[in-house]
């Protein structure tokens, strides 16, 4: 949804600025006519002033829009909200001179046209509704919604001109009578056809805006909501009016049509302004704030310049060149300093939310730089700054299959952000995606400005999350390797017991049976020796398999440790205060104890040992203390170093406390799920 919906159609009208200027000039000309024409019902001076003021607003708005988007006609159509009524007033005023002492040339024609002039008032709202906010409506299929107007207006004026009831003789207002020689039916027919065309234009325009609203996305809907409402009221008012005429209620009909037009004339420019200012249409707020800030800046610099010239002039004499130079210098010095300040103030005034949001994010960036907050908190900072609790930041990371998976700031897996979303890229690499919530979806320009500011923390957060994720994966794979190793040892131990050992016993039994068939003699003795050798082999296998995996582990850690304690030549006290833990944890704990005991016996010359196993929540603690000579340390690649690796691969930590002469305590803390 990055492409603006109003860029779809090129209607060949590139110069919206010229159009709006022309329409505005026309409006000024019409206003001049209204002021100058000395007709019968010339408005009072204050009414003229009010009209000028009211007319100025759509013109200014139209000029602003045209300046920003010269390729669109909306500016010109907004200006038409002033120009068309003014033109009608001008025609009326022109025609009103007919009954004065000094009628203007063509006053009669103007008076006739004035009779059909009410229809003109419908042109600006209907045309704007057909076009707003940009152009797709002007597909070839619907182009007649604009170009039909001159035809319909001209035809209606012609029909009215031929209608006898227009003239005083026929009960109308225009002096004189209808042109002779034309059958009355012709004028009526032309008038009726024009009316039908007019109804089609108004209803078609309203239908166009309603259709666009229905098919548009959320953002477009927000932009045209109010405008659509007023546009929809227009044909409704018109139909109601005609219905009233049919019923003969003239005054009611006029009240309805005036109300409908008022709503359209008030509602549509307001709706346009709302769409423009609140919903980021045409990015007008930045233009507005720049214009205002430079105006203020110019004024301030003028004051500085004038003050300096005046003050210096008092000292150096009037019109002195040094005074002007000094003033220029002062202005140059002041310019840089106050420009930013004024810009900030104006930004806050005109684009309050946007300016503040950017400032808040800038503050967050400073806090990240100072190390006061973690860059991963950018999501909550963005949410707070743009006031959108639904905004999401997700970071795509490559997975093993060549695709991506998504993590949030906390490193948890999340689904990819829903549209509308924005990609944050750096050097062609996608760093993060920001999914808009309801509020930012309708203010893309503000979001873009905020995200420009937030690029640094987003990039930082992405790097940190990436590193953490990779580390977690490495740790997990190391733990998997350890578990696989334990599993392999268990399998090997089973194979030794159930395979080799069984077989040796079976062979021994056969030999024994054979031996019993013999009488004592050399062969008998040889078989006896063979069986004895087999028995030694079985005992040897038993020792090996015990080393591969202590069989006691099948009965839990305490049982395995009891076996370990019994095999020791020196006294070992065993304090176990835990029940069963998972096999992998128990195996690691067992090896810690076994290795520490072996070290104590081999290197430290210990006479007494203590093995303690306890569990605190999700941590299993195994410690082995001896009374030996101490001085042990973890050296990579050596006994305790290998043990430390094994423990850390299981996600735990190994601590060795060993003062020379004060014994050694080896303690492992192992995570275990409950």
Where does this chain bind other proteins (CB under 8 A)? 494, 497-498, 501-506, 508-510, 512-513, 516, 531, 534-535, 538-539, 542, 545-546, 551-552, 554-555, 558-559, 561-563, 565-569, 571-574, 576, 608
Q: Widest CA span of the chain, in angstroms?
A: 165
Residue spans of beta strands (DSSP E) within 543-608: 572-576
Rounded Cα distance between 649 and 670, Å, is: 10
Residue with smaller CB distance to other proteins, 415 or 605: 605
For the CA atoms of 154, 155, 160, 163, the dihedral, rounded to the nearest 10 degrees, stands at: 150
DSSP sequence for 474-495 = HHHHHHHHHHHHHHHHHHHHHI
Residue with smaller CB distance to other proteins, 99 or 582: 582
Q: How far is the CB of 524 from other proteins (least distance, A)?
A: 13
Q: How far is the CB of 497 from other proteins (least distance, A)?
A: 4
**360 near 384, Cβ under 8 Å?**
yes
Question: Bridge partners of 126?
Answer: none
Q: How far is the CB of 508 from other proteins (least distance, A)?
A: 4
Residue with smaller CB distance to other proteins, 273 or 611: 611
**279 near 223, Cβ under 8 Å?**
yes
Q: How far is the CB of 572 from other proteins (least distance, A)?
A: 6
Q: How far is the CB of 619 from other proteins (least distance, A)?
A: 23
Residue with smaller CB distance to other proteins, 390 or 536: 536
Q: How far is the CB of 659 from other proteins (least distance, A)?
A: 22
3-state secondary structure 231-286: HHHHHHHHHHHHHHHHHCCHHHHHHHHHHHHHHHHHHHHHHHHHHHHHCCHHHHHH
DSSP sequence for 603-656 = II--S-EEEEEEEETTEEEEEEEE-S-------TTSHHHHHHHHHHHTT-EEEE
Residue with smaller CB distance to other proteins, 24 or 553: 553
- 327-338 burial, b for 16+ CB within 10 Å, e for fewer? beebbeebeeeb
Rounded Cα distance between 520 and 336, Å, is: 119
Residue with smaller CB distance to other proteins, 470 or 509: 509
Contacts of 534 (CB under 8 A, 6+ apart): 504, 505, 507, 508, 511
Give the three-class secondary structure for 106.
Answer: coil
In the structure, how many helices (H) and strands (E) does the chain have? 21, 9
Q: How far is the CB of 537 from other proteins (least distance, A)?
A: 9
Residue with smaller CB distance to other proteins, 465 or 560: 560
Q: How far is the CB of 569 from other proteins (least distance, A)?
A: 8
Rounded Cα distance between 161 and 156, Å, is: 8
Residue with smaller CB distance to other proteins, 481 or 509: 509
Q: How far is the CB of 592 from other proteins (least distance, A)?
A: 17
Q: How far is the CB of 507 from other proteins (least distance, A)?
A: 8
Residue with smaller CB distance to other proteins, 334 or 548: 548
Give, to the nearest 10 degrees, the angle between helix 74-96 and helix 45-68: 150
Q: How far is the CB of 553 from other proteins (least distance, A)?
A: 11
Residue with smaller CB distance to other proteins, 352 or 580: 580
- Cα 1 → chain centroid: 11
Tokens 């290795």 correspond to what residue? 595
Residue with smaller CB distance to other proteins, 276 or 572: 572
Residue with smaller CB distance to other proteins, 366 or 488: 488
Q: How far is the CB of 589 from other proteins (least distance, A)?
A: 15
Rounded Cα distance between 408 and 432, Å, is: 10
């Amino acid at each position: 949804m990055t492409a603006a919906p109003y860029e779809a159609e090129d209607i060949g009208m590139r110069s919206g600025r010229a159009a709006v200027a022309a329409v505005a000039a026309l409006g000024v000309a019409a206003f001049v006519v209204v002021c100058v024409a000395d007709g019968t019902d010339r408005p009072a001076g204050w009414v003229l002033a009010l009209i000028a003021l009211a007319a100025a607003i759509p013109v200014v708005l139209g000029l602003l829009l045209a300046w920003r988007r010269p390729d669109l006609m909306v500016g010109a159509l907004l200006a038409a909200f002033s120009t068309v009524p003014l033109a009608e007033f001008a025609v009326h005023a022109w025609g009103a001179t007919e009954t004065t002492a000094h009628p203007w040339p063509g006053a009669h024609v103007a008076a006739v046209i004035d009779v059909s002039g009410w229809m003109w008032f419908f042109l600006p709202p209907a045309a704007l509704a057909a076009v707003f906010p940009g152009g797709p409506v002007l597909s070839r299929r619907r182009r007649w919604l604009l170009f039909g107007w001159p035809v319909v207006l001209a035809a209606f004026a012609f029909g009215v001109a031929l209608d006898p009831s227009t003239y005083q003789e026929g009960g109308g207002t225009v002096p004189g009578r209808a042109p002779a020689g034309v059958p009355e039916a012709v004028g009526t027919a032309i008038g009726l056809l024009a009316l039908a065309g007019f109804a089609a234009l108004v209803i078609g325009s309203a239908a166009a805006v309603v259709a666009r609203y229905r098919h548009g996305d959320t953002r477009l809907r927000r932009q045209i909501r109010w405008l659509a409402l007023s546009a929809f009221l227009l044909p409704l008012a018109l139909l109601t009016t005609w219905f009233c005429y049919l019923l003969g209620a003239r005054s009611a009909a006029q009240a309805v049509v005036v109300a409908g037009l008022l709503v359209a004339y008030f509602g549509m420019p307001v709706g346009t302004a709302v769409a423009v200012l609140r919903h980021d249409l045409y990015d007008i707020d930045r233009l507005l704030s720049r214009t205002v800030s430079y105006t203020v800046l110019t004024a301030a610099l003028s004051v500085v310049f004038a003050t300096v010239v005046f003050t210096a002039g008092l000292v150096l004499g009037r019109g002195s060149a040094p005074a002007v130079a000094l003033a220029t210098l002062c202005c140059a010095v002041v310019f840089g300093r106050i420009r930013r300040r004024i810009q900030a103030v104006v930004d806050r005034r005109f684009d309050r939310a946007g300016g503040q949001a950017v400032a808040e994010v800038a503050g967050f960036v400073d806090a990240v730089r100072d190390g006061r907050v973690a860059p991963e908190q950018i999501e909550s900072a963005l949410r707070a700054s743009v006031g959108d609790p639904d905004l999401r930041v997700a970071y795509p990371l490559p997975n093993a299959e060549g695709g991506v998976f998504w993590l949030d700031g906390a490193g948890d897996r999340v689904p990819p952000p829903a549209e509308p979303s924005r990609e944050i890229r750096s050097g062609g690499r996608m760093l993060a995606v920001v999914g808009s919530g309801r509020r930012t979806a309708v203010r893309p320009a503000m979001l873009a400005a905020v995200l420009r500011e937030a690029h640094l923390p987003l990039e930082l957060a992405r790097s940190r999350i990436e590193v953490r994720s990779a580390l977690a994966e490495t740790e997990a794979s190391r733990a998997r390797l350890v578990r696989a190793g334990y599993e392999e040892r268990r399998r090997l131990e089973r194979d030794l017991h159930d395979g080799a050992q069984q077989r040796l016993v079976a062979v021994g039994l056969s030999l024994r049976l054979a031996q019993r068939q013999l009488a004592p003699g050399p062969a008998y003795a040889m078989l006896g020796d063979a069986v004895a050798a087999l028995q030694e082999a079985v005992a040897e296998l038993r020792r090996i398999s015990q080393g591969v995996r202590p069989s006691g582990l099948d009965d839990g850690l305490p049982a395995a440790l009891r076996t370990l304690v019994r095999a020791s030549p020196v006294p070992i006290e065993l304090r176990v205060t835990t029940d069963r833990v998972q096999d992998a944890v128990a195996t690691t704990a067992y090896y810690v104890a076994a290795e520490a005991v072996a070290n104590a016996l081999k290197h430290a010359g210990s006479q007494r040992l203590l093995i303690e196993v306890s569990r605190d929540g999700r941590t299993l603690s195994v410690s082995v203390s001896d009374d030996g000579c101490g001085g042990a340390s973890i050296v990579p690649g050596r006994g305790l170093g290998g043990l430390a690796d094994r423990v850390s691969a299981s996600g735990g930590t190994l601590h060795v406390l060993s003062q020379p002469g004060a014994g050694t305590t080896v303690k492992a803390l192992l995570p275990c799920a409950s």
